Amino acid sequence: MKKKYMAEPFKIKSVEPLQMLDRKGREQAIENAGYNTFLIKSEEVYIDLLTDSGTNAMSDKQWAGIMVGDEAYAGSRNWYHLEETVQELFGFKHLVPTHQGRGAENLLSRILVKPGTYIPGNMYFTTTRAHQEMNGGTFVDVIIDEAHEPDRDDIIFKGNVDLNKFEALIKKVGADKIPYICVGVTVNLAGGQPVSMANLREVNALAKNHGIRVMFDATRCVENAFFIKDREKGYENKSIKEIIHEMFSYADGCTMSGKKDCIVNIGGFLAMNDEELFQKAKSIVVVFEGMPSYGGMAGRDMEAMAIGLREAMDYNYIKHRVEQVAYLGEQLSEAGVPIVKPVGGHAVFLDAQAFLPHLTQDEFPAQALAAEIYVDSGVRTMERGIVSAGRDKEGKNHYPKLELVRLTIPRRVYTYAHLDYVAESIINVYKQRDTVKGLKWVYEPPVLRFFTGRFEPIKK
């Protein structure tokens, strides 16, 4: 039987009823929110594609795990369960739990990043780079050039490290000034693009030649493992678990946000083999997070994370997740809606400049498009363009090359019917795109303006 798509590999035991405002209600809601989807109340949203961070649906087994939370201050049994799960799946000797991914980034950066050092990475991630810079380091982008080109859909591992760029940096600043290379698997800001196993192997070999550590940002590693199985020769018959194990054999440690591929709502960890790094991390985790046996998580949260990680190794789970994202991308692409290609592991990105060519970038096309989609259907998306890019030190606007609207798919939360609804709405907005008006500032916050900024439509 040939299938249109892979149906959900789960059945639904508990439901969260959704409210659907009518169009008038949505117009009022977006006006109240200053045309900023971050300021809409969650109850006013029908389908929420703002982020896939911490928005996962847990399984019945994870909820059962919540009930066996051991909330002892020290030595909780859930901690031992989480520790042995990560040791087994990732192959690292040591684990330091944190409240979420950035907690692990903080510990790692404080220990290894010193003023005057350089940290190469395959494109930056916001919190990761912020921690490196706060400790006096300089982030250097060593991703392949094609990762920055939205219409290059012929590159199947768009997250790969450019080894020439990495080697050039080593020659320029010296290996002793590079505490580690941070490799994101997948690369969030490139649109969830994967790194190949061959590239991970080569990065490791080059780094080892120069005595440089390799640290993964493991946040989306299961999505990356799926792409390797799906696209890289020699991995077709390997299990996700085997692929994960090999991937991490090319790293000395990792930071992890549990809010993504561990299929939980909160949590994270730092993992490593190095004894000295472990001792240092254990001595500062108590200051920033909590005891090394809970690190800011409740016992029940550690239990849910241990169970979630194991569930994430299930091929059908991850196949369904990544294919859902691809399905939404295909529906839009077939209708002529401009999107970034290839579609990555967690989100579809609309190219707002191509979508709304009658607006200049100063009229905030992505912001306006996200607001319009909400009004059309109650679907919440996020601007990733000039508003998110902010201003430089002189106060001038950054003009990012990409002006995007992100549709992020939470794990196990929505069905294909929901995705069809999303696609229909966006195609509908696309048909009436000439009527979408640009926006102007009503209130512009000095930092991270996309979170709380307010706008109104330009009347023309």
Ligand X SMILES: *Cc1c(COP(=O)(O)O)cnc(C)c1O
Q: List residues binding ligand X (CB under 6 A).
A: 53, 100-102, 125, 127-128, 184, 188, 217, 219-220, 257, 259-260, 268
Annotated active-site residue in 5, 60, 126, 208: 126
Distances (CA, A) of 342 to 160, 222, 262, 265: 14, 18, 24, 28
Q: Shortest Cβ distance from residue 248 to ligand X (Å)?
A: 16
Residue placing its CB nearer to ligand X in the complex, 81 or 259:
259
Residue 295, sorted as left (phi over 0), alpha (psi -120 to 50) or beta, turns out to be left
Q: Shortest Cβ distance from residue 4 to ligand X (Å)?
A: 30
Residue placing its CB nearer to ligand X in the complex, 267 or 378:
267
Residue 260: active-site member: yes
Name residues whose C-beta falls within 8 Å of residue 379's C-beta, 6 or more positions apart in sequence.
Answer: 45, 46, 47, 49, 373, 407, 421, 422, 425, 426
Residue placing its CB nearer to ligand X in the complex, 265 or 324:
265
Residue 90: active-site member: no
Residue 22: active-site member: no
Residue placing its CB nearer to ligand X in the complex, 259 or 449:
259
Q: Which residue is nearest to ligand X (CB)?
A: 101
Contact of 143 with 154, CB cutoff 8 Å: no
Residue 126: active-site member: yes
Query: In this structure, what token pair is assigned to residue 363?
Result: 């009229």
Annotated active-site residue in 5, 73, 399, 451: 73
Residue 217: active-site member: yes
Contact of 90 with 306, CB cutoff 8 Å: no
Annotated active-site residue in 92, 118, 125, 416: 125
Report the DSSP pairing between strands 404-408 and 347-351.
antiparallel
Give the end-to-end CA distance of the chain in Å, rounded to a whole number.
Answer: 54
Residue 406: active-site member: no
Residue 73: active-site member: yes
Annotated active-site residue in 52, 217, 261, 351: 217
Distances (CA, A) of 414 to 63, 263, 358: 19, 14, 33
Give the CA dihedral 318, 322, 323, 326, nearest 10 degrees.
Answer: 180
Q: Shortest Cβ distance from residue 269 to ligand X (Å)?
A: 10
Which helix (H) or strand (E) is 341 found in, with range? Answer: none
Annotated active-site residue in 260, 341, 406, 411: 260
Q: Shortest Cβ distance from residue 257 to ligand X (Å)?
A: 3
Distances (CA, A) of 246 to 133, 182, 198, 394, 427: 31, 17, 11, 46, 41
Please give the full DSSP string across 386-430, using - where no structure is assigned. Answer: HHHH-B-TTSPBP--S--EEEEE--TTT--HHHHHHHHHHHHHHH
Paired with 120 in beta bridges are 140
Distances (CA, A) of 91 to 103, 108, 337, 351, 436: 21, 19, 43, 40, 52
Show the beta-strand stretches assigned E in 57-189. 94-98, 118-121, 138-141, 180-184
Q: Shortest Cβ distance from residue 335 to ligand X (Å)?
A: 29
Q: Shortest Cβ distance from residue 256 to ligand X (Å)?
A: 8
Q: Shortest Cβ distance from residue 203 to ligand X (Å)?
A: 17
Catalytic residue set? 73, 125-126, 217, 260, 384, 450
